[in-house]
Amino acid sequence: MNYKLPIEEEMKGKVAIITGGTSGIGQACVKVFCDAGVNVVTLGRRIENGEALEKEINARGKGKCTYIACDVRDVDRIKFVVEETARLYGRIDTLVNVAGYFPKQHPIDDETCEEFEDVINTNIRSYVMFAKYAMPYLRTSKGSVVNIGSITAHVGVQGCADYLVTKGGIEAFTRGLSFDEAFNGVRVNEIKPGAIQSEISAELYGKDPAYNDYMQHVQTIGRNGRPEEIAYAALFLASDWASFITGIELLVSGGYEMGESYRQLCPYTKWPEKPVMK
C-alpha cells in the first residue's frame, strides 16, 4: 500500500455501487468518484436524470458510469444491480448507500402502517439488502461500505419520528456490520451530513424565506453544506487513505449539532452577525 499516492491514483480503476445517484448527495458522489477514476454503477428511479448523468460522466473520459433503473424498495432489483456490477467489472470495491427520502412531517398518530413501511424500506432496508448482496464481493476485494445517515439522528427534528428511526438504524447498522466484517477485511463507516443544499432541501424549505434563513444559520459554520462536500468525505472513507478507520460516524455537518443546541437553549436570542465561511 503506497500512502504517497494521491487519492485519485489510489482509487483509479476500482469499482463502486452508489445508490440514489440521480439527485443530490448521491449524484455528487457519482461525479466525485468517477472523476477520481472509479468505475461506478449507480441507480435510482429518475430514469431521465440517470441516463443524462451517465452520458455526462462518460464524456469526460475518466471513471466509467453505468446507470441502472432501480427502486431500492425492490429487493429483487437490488440483487440484480449487485450481480450486474460484478458481471460488468468482475469485482466490487465499494458500496455507498445514499438512497433515501425525507417524508412529510406529521405527528405519530397521523402515521399509517403503509407510510412507515415505505420509509423503512427506502431508508434502511435497502442499505441492509445492498450490503447483504455486495458483501461476498467486498470481502474478496477487502473493500468498504460508506453509509449516508443524518445529523438528525443526534439532534432530532419535529414531526419525523419515522425518519429518525431509519437514521438511528443506519448508525446502529454501521457499527454492527463494521464489527462483523472487520474480521473479513471490510471497513464500514457512516457519514452524518448536516443541512445540505439540494433538490430535496429546495422542495422542503426553498420557498419559505424564514425557514431557509434558519437553516442557513443553524449550522455554526454559517451556511448550508454542498453535496460535493459529502462526496469528498465518502471518497476518503472508501479509499485506503482511511485504511485504519472503521465503525465511525463522521459528522460532515458544518457544526449543525452545536448550532441546533444553541438554538434550543437560547430560543429568544437572535443570531449574531457573522461572516460565512467559504
pLDDT digits (tens, 9 = 90+) for 38-70: 999 999 999 999 999 999 999 998 999 999 999
The arrangement of strands across the sheet holding 187-193 comes to: 65-69, 39-44, 15-18, 94-97, 144-148, 187-193, 249-252
pLDDT at 22: 94
Structure confidence at residue 264 (pLDDT): 54
**Predicted local distance difference test score (pLDDT) of residue 138:** 98
d(CA 207, CA 128): 35
Residue whose C-alpha cell is 443526534: 154
In terms of Cβ atoms closer than 10 Å to its own Cβ (0-12, 13-18, 19+), residue 59 is exposed
Mean pLDDT across 165-179: 96
Q: Are 218 and 271 in contact (CB under 8 A)?
A: no
Encode pLDDT of 75-88 as tens digits: 999 999 999 999 99
DSSP alpha helices (H): ranges in the chain?
7-11, 24-35, 47-58, 75-89, 113-120, 126-141, 152-155, 161-182, 199-205, 209-217, 227-238, 256-265
Give the residue extent of every domain in the chain.
9-199+225-254
Joined grid coordinates for residue 133: 448482496
Phi and psi at 16, nearest 5°, equal -130, 145
Query: What is the pLDDT of the chain when averaged over all its residues?
Result: 89
- pLDDT on residue 102: 82
Q: Average pLDDT, stretch 183-208?
A: 82
Alpha carbons within 13 A on the beta-carbon side of 146: 29
What number is the average pLDDT over the span 89-113?
90
For residue 22, the number of C-alpha atoms closer than 13 Å in the C-beta half-sphere is 19
Give the pairing of strands 187-193 and 144-148.
parallel
Using CB atoms within 10 Å of the CB of residue 71, give its burial: 0 to 12 exposed, 13 to 18 middle, 19+ buried: middle
Contacts 24+ apart (CB under 8 A), 45-53: 45/69, 45/70, 45/71, 46/22, 49/22, 49/23, 50/21, 50/22, 53/21, 53/22, 53/27
Reported as a single tens digit per residue, the pLDDT across 6-26 is 898 999 999 999 999 999 999
Residue 106 clears pLDDT 50, i.e. is over it: yes
CATH H superfamily, domain 9-199+225-254 = NAD(P)-binding Rossmann-like Domain (3.40.50.720)
Grid coordinates of 206 = 426553498
> Is this structure's pTM higher than 0.85?
yes
Catalytically active residues, by annotation: 163
Backbone angles phi, psi at 250, to 5 degrees: -90, 115
